[in-house]
Amino acid sequence: MDNRPIGVFDSGLGGLTVLKEIRNLLPTESIVYFGDSGRAPYGTKSKETVIKYTFQNIRFLLNQDIKMIVIACNTASACSIDLVKHSFDIPVVEVVEPGSVSAVRETVNKKVGVIGTIATVNSGVYEKAISRLDPSIEIFQKACPMFVPLVEEGWWENDIAQRIAEEYLLSLKEKGIDSLVLGCTHYPLLHNTISKVMGEGVKLVSSALEVAKVVKEVINENNAARNEKIGPVYRFYTSDSVEKFESLGNSILNEKIRSAEKIDIERY
Ligand code: DGL
């Protein structure tokens, strides 16, 4: 039994799509979330910068006395997982491997598309992970750097989002893929827009549910489930405007986020 919260972070709001699935699957667990919106996007930054941010975010969460770290950000996972995985004495869960497992399970024609930030696509982590699971799968990648700012702005389904999605995705559609990995935790919020461009024949694969399953497994393996009579506590922190975090966060989680707090992440 371990009553400490799970620590989750992302470059901004996207990781809330992962938090939502963790909460659905593990409704008794407490969670501390940090969204680094003040320094987003990560995906256009250098690997060194993303590694620095990742360690700062983890140090902040460790200060909150957490029992597990969930890197709910593909870019941070892609740039730093080898360094981070064994640097702490609590478990670290990332998002790339679970997303790859879903893609391999979903594809029938063995043509898979992967979209993500520039840093994630350039790192080649999805290609490596998917090929390791099934070497016969053909992978087509595309970086979509404008998607994260669109999501952080709350422009999930308007004409501009639609136009940008067409620009990025029509060339992928022509490859005949039957599954598209949303290799960035912000992208599930563009699900309807992306789906309109890709059409019904292409399944959109998000890692969020798969990540939640891994979190559950790790908790069970470590005998670390929360066991308290009173309900779980969710705490939210951001490095940018609390008002913006709360208003977009409410739409993502479909409920009111109470008392998000702004922190100075550079202190960590
Ligand atoms: N949600 C992050 C990811 O999964 C977005 C990265 C960014 O801030 O560019 O990659």
Peptide bond into 188 cis (omega under 30): no
Residue found under tokens 């520039």: 118
Residue 207 Cα to ligand 1 midpoint, Å, equals: 13
- The whole-number pLDDT of residue 229 equals 82
The SS3 assignment for 182 reads: strand
Cα–Cα distances in Å, from 214 out to 58, 98, 135, 206, 247?
Answer: 19, 8, 23, 14, 29
User: How many beta carbons lie within 10 A of that of residue 193, not counting itself?
Assistant: 25
Helices and strands per DSSP (H, E), number in the chain: 11, 10
For the chain, how big is the Rg over CA atoms in Å? 18
CA of 42 to the centre of ligand 1 (A): 6
Pairing of β 234-238 and β 31-35: parallel
Atom of ligand 1 nearest to the CA of 76: 10
For ligand 1, atom 2, name the residue with the nearest CA.
73
Chain-centre distance for alpha carbon 86: 20
pLDDT at residue number 115? 97
pLDDT, tens digit (0-9, with 9 covering 90-100), for 59-85:
999 999 999 999 999 999 999 999 998
Of 33, 46, 53, 73, the one to substitute when testing ligand 1's pocket (max ligand atoms within 8 A of C-beta) is 73
pTM of the complete model: 0.94
pLDDT in tens, 136-192: 999 999 999 999 999 989 999 999 999 999 999 999 999 999 999 999 999 999 999
Give the pLDDT confidence score for residue 254 in this predicted structure. Answer: 87
Residue ranges lining ligand 1, Cβ < 6 Å: 10-12, 14, 40-43, 73-75, 117, 120, 148, 184-186
**β-pair partners for 266:** none
Please state whether beta strands 234-238 and 261-262 pair in parallel, antiparallel, or not at all (unpaired): parallel
Confidence label for 30 from pLDDT (cuts 50, 70 and 90):
very high
Residue 251 Cα to ligand 1 middle (Å)? 19
Question: Ligand 1, from 13, 75, 248: best to mutate by most atoms within 8 Å of Cβ?
Answer: 75
**Residue 6 CA from chain centroid, whole number:** 15
Active site residues: 73, 184
Taking the centre of ligand 1 as the mean of its atom positions, its distance from the CA of residue 230, in whole angstroms, is 34
**Most ligand 1 atoms within 8 A of CB, residue of 8, 9, 10 to mutate:** 10
Band of pLDDT at residue 258, cut at 50, 70 and 90 = confident
Q: In this structure, what token pair is assigned to residue 232?
A: 């779980």
The atom of ligand 1 lying closest to the CA of 15 is 1
- Average pLDDT along the chain: 95
pLDDT at 14 over 80: yes
Ligand 1 atom closest to residue 145's alpha carbon, by position in its atom list: 9
CA of 235 to the centre of ligand 1 (A): 21
Q: What is the pLDDT of residue 62?
A: 98
Question: Ligand 1 centre and the CA of 206: distance in Å?
Answer: 13
Tokens, residue 33: 């979330």
